[in-house]
């Protein structure tokens, strides 16, 4: 007797749906794609309980006839592709005719369009009836995975699902700035993007990041035979510790591409300190015939036939733009901060003024734009000076001069000055030495943070979710963090709270939590990475002008180190011999 049987169509459709529908944000992505393909100029999104209870997308696009409504939720039903050739020359976001069919297989879906309405309840379709919105389309999904408990248990808490939906919404907004977009959660309007252009929309979205505080913004472009590039980025004084704000869009669609992100980071490597990444939104408009999105169910990946040319174009475009330094300054126009779902429980202390001498920076020629909120702290972070003063002063009292001389013999040197607001220059015997001020200070902070255990209890513990692997890891290894004053408590499966952290890292709780959320490695490298992040965040940046006293202090401290390497292991000095300099001008040594 044969043991192979054809699956019941409803079971088959639910299995297929798993490819497309993973969570509310994947439903939202598909419904937004449909509204955009219908040429909507205004789209509103409403979610309840993170989209698990309900998720509605209303657009003012072309809408559907009653006949089309009848077909829309059937498998492989699409108006966008007719022949195989169409598939290789796509101008629409949809092409499989699978999204609505998949969503309706695992929820209750109601679509109303141009005066007609249809409901498909977990794969069971009712007839089209008159009613609903008169122009455009409203698609409403309710009770996702209610009939598939095995899938439902993999959903995150509503607040996290809401955050994912918001992220998906923002990514679409970035790709389609000409569309007005509204995002409501639990009836409250959280985001409203008016119709605009790429640059305005990109800056609006970038500036929602709490750490985004560039002196200037940079717009770069490139025109090629098959490809146009446009990038909006921060100037190098403003950067992040992760690649989270490098966004690549191919034909208006956000994609995950390791290679293209790599092109961006390698072109920026000379302009940023080690382990730092730019804010960089790149719009690639490629010939549709050269791009295939039919490789990933979520359309997050694509095959690009002219990828190597694009790689080259990206690096050339960035290097030239950084060299020319033709920054645009219009970031000074007021940028609205977006409300965030992320919990911000800690009442961080606001350091309002630069502390007085000796650890003081000379005033910056480029002062902070007046319209920015005073609490924004990059690129010129007054709290750094307070941190530096506390840390350096502590180091002074801890070690007596005799102690220093027994641990390390300080060579005779003469501090000459600071150049390019980046290097401290020192004359040392018959050499001229250049010290990277950012890397040096990062190293000093790193050593001090490791040595001290000042712990600050958070007024309200900071909650965060983790993946299963990190949950398991933390249950066994939370001592890695508690050793350094970071107290973590498991509240429920996959949900943790941070109750305390080293005092020197106040205001950086989000960054620390983001790090914890990704770590499952060996103890030593996790601890090293953690403190490299903290120290680097607080350290002087390349480009910060220093007063002579601070600079001289830093130089002296550099000579007390065993090895002049930053926490990432990179050497931070470089020297030129007297002999070389003499030779260059034709002198005999």
Ligand X SMILES: Nc1ncnc2c1ncn2[C@@H]1O[C@H](COP(=O)(O)OP(=O)(O)OP(=O)(O)O)[C@@H](O)[C@H]1O
Positions touching Mg ion (CB under 5 A) are 33-34, 94, 99
CB of 56 to Mg ion, least distance (A): 16
CB of 31 to ligand X, least distance (A): 7
Query: Strand pairing partners for 154?
Result: none
* Of residues 73 and 424, the one with the C-beta less far from ligand X: 73
Contact 417, 432 (CB under 8 A): no
* Of residues 230 and 291, the one with the C-beta less far from ligand X: 291
N- to C-terminal Cα separation, the chain: 97
Strand 137-142 to strand 108-113: parallel, antiparallel, or no bridges (unpaired)? antiparallel
CB of 176 to ligand X, least distance (A): 14
For ligand X, which stretch binds (CB under 6 A), given 59-67, 271-279, 388-396, 552-560? 59-67
Q: How many CB atoms lie within 10 A of CB 562?
A: 7
Question: Using CA atoms, how far apart are residues 130 and 133, in angstroms rounded to an integer?
Answer: 10
* Of residues 34 and 558, the one with the C-beta less far from Mg ion: 34
* 300 part of the interface to ligand X, by CB under 6 A: no
* Of residues 57 and 322, the one with the C-beta less far from ligand X: 57
Contact 28, 57 (CB under 8 A): yes
Sequence-distant (6+) residues with CB within 8 A of 199 are 219, 232
Contacted by 98, from Mg ion, ligand X, none: CB < 5 to 8 Å by type: ligand X
Query: Strand pairing partners for 223?
Result: 228
Q: Give the single-character DSSP code of 505.
A: G
Number of residues in contact with ligand X under rule CB under 6 A: 24
* 538 part of the interface to ligand X, by CB under 6 A: no
Strand 455-465 to strand 423-428: parallel, antiparallel, or no bridges (unpaired)? unpaired
Contact 222, 254 (CB under 8 A): no
Contacted by 424, from ligand X, Mg ion, none: CB < 5 to 8 Å by type: none
Tokens of residue 364, six digits = 């910056």
Please calculate the CA angle 104-108-112 and round it to the nearest 5 degrees.
85
Question: Using CA atoms, how far apart are residues 352 and 470, in angstroms rounded to an integer?
Answer: 37
Q: Cite the beta strand spans of 393-525 per DSSP E.
A: 413-419, 423-428, 431-436, 455-465, 487-492, 495-502
Question: Using CA atoms, how far apart are residues 235 and 248, in angstroms rounded to an integer?
Answer: 18
Contacted by 203, from ligand X, Mg ion, none: CB < 5 to 8 Å by type: none
Contacted by 78, from ligand X, Mg ion, none: CB < 5 to 8 Å by type: ligand X
* 63 part of the interface to ligand X, by CB under 6 A: yes
Tokens of residue 552, six digits = 């001289």
Tokens of residue 334, six digits = 């007021």
- What DSSP string runs through 308-370? HHHHHHHHHHHHHHHHHT--B-GGGS--PPPP-SS-----PPP--S---TTS-BPPPSSPPPT
Contacted by 470, from ligand X, Mg ion, none: CB < 5 to 8 Å by type: none
For ligand X, which stretch binds (CB under 6 A), given 91-99, 141-149, 541-549, 567-575? 91-99
Residue with tokens 């000076």: 385
Contacted by 290, from Mg ion, ligand X, none: CB < 5 to 8 Å by type: none
Of positions 21, 47, 59, 539, contacts ligand X by CB under 6 A: 59
CB of 172 to Mg ion, least distance (A): 13
CB of 564 to ligand X, least distance (A): 56
Tokens of residue 207, six digits = 């500036």
Contacted by 445, from Mg ion, ligand X, none: CB < 5 to 8 Å by type: none
Q: How many residues can be counted in the chain?
A: 589
Contacted by 79, from ligand X, Mg ion, none: CB < 5 to 8 Å by type: ligand X
* Of residues 144 and 444, the one with the C-beta less far from Mg ion: 144
Contact 248, 202 (CB under 8 A): no
CB of 78 to Mg ion, least distance (A): 8
* 100 part of the interface to ligand X, by CB under 6 A: yes
Of positions 38, 162, 263, 445, contacts ligand X by CB under 6 A: 38
Question: Using CA atoms, how far apart are residues 318 and 248, in angstroms rounded to an integer?
Answer: 14
By CB under 6 A, the residues from 133 to 192 that bind ligand X are: 137
* Of residues 99 and 498, the one with the C-beta less far from ligand X: 99
Site string for ligand X, 70-89 (x = CB under 6 A): --x----xxxx---------
CB of 374 to ligand X, least distance (A): 43
CB of 61 to Mg ion, least distance (A): 12
* 109 part of the interface to ligand X, by CB under 6 A: no
* Of residues 97 and 224, the one with the C-beta less far from ligand X: 97
- What DSSP string runs through 399-426? S-HHHHHHH-PPPPEEEEEEETTTEEEE
Question: Using CA atoms, how far apart are residues 209 and 247, in angstroms rounded to an integer?
Answer: 13
Q: Is 583 strand, coil or helix?
A: helix
By CB under 6 A, the residues from 17 to 36 that bind ligand X are: 30, 33-35
For ligand X, which stretch binds (CB under 6 A), given 55-63, 196-204, 528-536, 558-566? 55-63
CB of 30 to Mg ion, least distance (A): 5
CB of 185 to ligand X, least distance (A): 21
* Of residues 75 and 337, the one with the C-beta less far from ligand X: 75
Note the residues at the interface with ligand X (CB under 6 A): 30, 33-35, 38, 59, 61-64, 72, 77-80, 94-101, 137
């Amino acid at each position: 007797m044969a043991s192979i049987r054809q699956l019941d169509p409803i079971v088959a459709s639910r299995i297929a749906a798993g490819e497309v529908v993973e969570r509310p944000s994947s439903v939202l992505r598909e419904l937004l794609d449909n509204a955009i393909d219908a040429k909507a100029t205004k789209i509103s999104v409403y979610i309840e309980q993170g989209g698990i209870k309900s998720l509605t997308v209303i657009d003012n696009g072309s809408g559907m006839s009653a006949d089309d409504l009848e077909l829309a939720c059937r498998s492989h039903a699409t108006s966008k592709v007719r022949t195989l050739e169409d598939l290789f020359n796509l101008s629409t976001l949809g092409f499989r005719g699978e999204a609505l069919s998949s969503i309706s297989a695992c929820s209750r879906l109601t679509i109303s369009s141009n005066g007609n309405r249809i409901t498909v309840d977990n794969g069971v379709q009712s007839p089209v009836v008159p009613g609903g919105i008169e122009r455009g389309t409203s698609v409403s999904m309710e009770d996702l995975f209610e009939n598939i408990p095995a899938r439902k248990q993999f959903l995150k808490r509503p607040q996290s699902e809401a955050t994912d939906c918001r992220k998906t919404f923002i990514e679409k907004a970035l790709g389609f700035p000409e569309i007005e977009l509204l995002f409501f959660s639990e009836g409250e309007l959280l985001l409203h993007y008016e119709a605009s252009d790429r640059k305005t929309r990109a800056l609006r979205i970038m500036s929602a990041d709490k750490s985004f505080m560039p002196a200037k913004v940079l717009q770069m472009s490139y025109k090629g035979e098959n490809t146009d590039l446009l990038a909006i980025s921060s100037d190098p004084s403003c950067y992040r510790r992760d690649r989270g704000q490098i966004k690549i869009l191919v034909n208006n669609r956000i994609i995950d591409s390791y290679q293209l992100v790599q092109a961006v980071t390698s072109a920026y490597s000379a302009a940023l300190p080690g382990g730092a990444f730019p804010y960089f939104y790149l719009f690639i408009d490629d010939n549709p015939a050269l791009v295939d999105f039919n490789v990933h169910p979520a359309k997050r990946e694509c095959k690009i036939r002219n990828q190597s040319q694009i790689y080259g174009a990206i690096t050339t475009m960035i290097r030239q733009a950084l060299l020319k330094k033709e920054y645009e300054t219009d970031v000074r126009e007021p940028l609205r901060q977006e409300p965030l779902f992320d919990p911000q429980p800690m009442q961080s202390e606001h350091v309002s003024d630069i502390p007085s001498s000796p650890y003081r920076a000379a005033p910056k020629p480029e002062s902070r734009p007046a319209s920015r909120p005073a609490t924004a702290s990059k690129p010129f972070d007054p709290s750094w000076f307070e941190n530096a003063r506390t840390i350096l002063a502590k180091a002074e009292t801890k070690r007596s001069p005799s102690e220093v001389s027994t641990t390390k013999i300080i060579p005779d040197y003469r501090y000459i000055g600071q150049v390019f607001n980046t290097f401290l220059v020192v004359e040392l015997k018959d050499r001229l030495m250049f010290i990277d001020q950012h890397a040096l200070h990062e190293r000093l902070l790193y050593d001090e943070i490791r040595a001290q255990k000042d712990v600050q209890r958070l007024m309200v513990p900071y909650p965060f979710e983790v993946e299963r692997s990190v949950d398991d890891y933390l249950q066994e290894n939370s001592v890695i963090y508690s050793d350094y004053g970071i107290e973590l408590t498991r509240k429920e499966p996959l949900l943790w709270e941070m109750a305390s952290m080293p005092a020197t890292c106040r205001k950086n709780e989000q960054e620390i939590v983001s790090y914890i959320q990704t770590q499952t490695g060996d103890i030593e490298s996790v601890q090293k990475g953690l403190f490299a992040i903290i120290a680097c965040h607080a350290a002087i940046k390349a480009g910060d002008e220093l007063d002579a006293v601070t600079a001289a202090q830093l130089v002296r401290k550099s000579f007390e180190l065993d090895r002049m390497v930053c926490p990432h292991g990179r050497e931070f000095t470089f020297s030129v011999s007297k002999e070389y300099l003499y030779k260059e001008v034709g002198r005999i040594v």
